[in-house]
A = this chain, B = another copy of it.
Amino acid sequence: MPKKNIPKLAIRRLCIYKRMLSRLLEKEQETISSKELGKLTSIPDYQVRKDISFIGEIGVARKGYNIKKLNDHIINSLGLIEVWNTAIVGVGQLGTALLNYPRLKEMGYNILCAFDIDPKKIGKKTGGITIFPSDRITPTVRKNQIKIGIICVPPGAAQTVCDALAKGGIRGILNFAPIALNIPAHIVKREIDFTVELEFISAVLNLMKKKRS
């Protein structure tokens, strides 16, 4: 179990180390140093070591970290073995893609149901999952003990479905709608909007240019 409170940013980086480590598992290499792992993840070596130190001593001086052991250790420490009942809200292009993405199940996200507002979609199956009407979100989430909701609806509908998920007792929300969600603090939220990231890139490029000139 983790020593003390792990900083949020360290948790996120640990997930990134794990992503690389599971790729390395397929190679013959057995151990990796913080320097190498840092190179592969664009994170400085001391940061890698410090992050890993939050979940305990696992490295070997002069050799580095055993790849399999470190991978397992991150999975265990962060509880990534757990299986989560998951729902997808909004079966448009993105929602459909997610319903057909088999790796989600492999990663422990057990998609139990999907929701959409379009009567033509309701009752149909996508990726083996039945689509329910959006106004049934709260009872369905509660009944099926759904813990994680993935929001793929247009921005105008996002807050409403978010509230419905919250009322049903959801624990975590991954939001793809391009709008910030108002949410009780006990629900863990993550928002992904590639247009914000693109604009961030543009802004940084522009400010770099201005500074030079």
The chain A residues found within 8 Å of chain B, CB to CB, are 1-2, 5-6, 8, 11-12, 14-16, 18-20, 23, 39-43, 78-80, 82, 84, 93-94, 97, 103, 107-109, 147-148, 155, 171-174, 176, 178-183, 188-190, 192-211
Contacts and interface: CB of A to CB of B under 8 A. Distances in A.
Given A190-B197, A196-B15, A203 B42 contact: no
B210 A1 contact: yes
A42 B84 CA distance: 26
Contacts of A108: 202
Nearest to A155: B23
A42 B93 contact: no
Contacts of A173: 201
Given A42-B183, A97-B93, A195-B107, A203 B78 contact: yes
A207 B79 contact: yes
A192 B94 CA distance: 15
B194 A194 contact: no
B202 A82 contact: yes
B93 A205 contact: no
Contacts of A205: 79, 147, 171-172, 188
A203 B19 contact: no
B148 A199 contact: no
7 contacts: A1-B210, A12-B200, A78-B207, A79-B202, A103-B195, A148-B201, A172-B204
Contacts of A5: 211
A203 B15 contact: yes
Contacts of A192: 192, 194, 197
Contacts of A202: 78-80, 82, 84, 108, 148, 172
A27 to B, nearest CB: 12
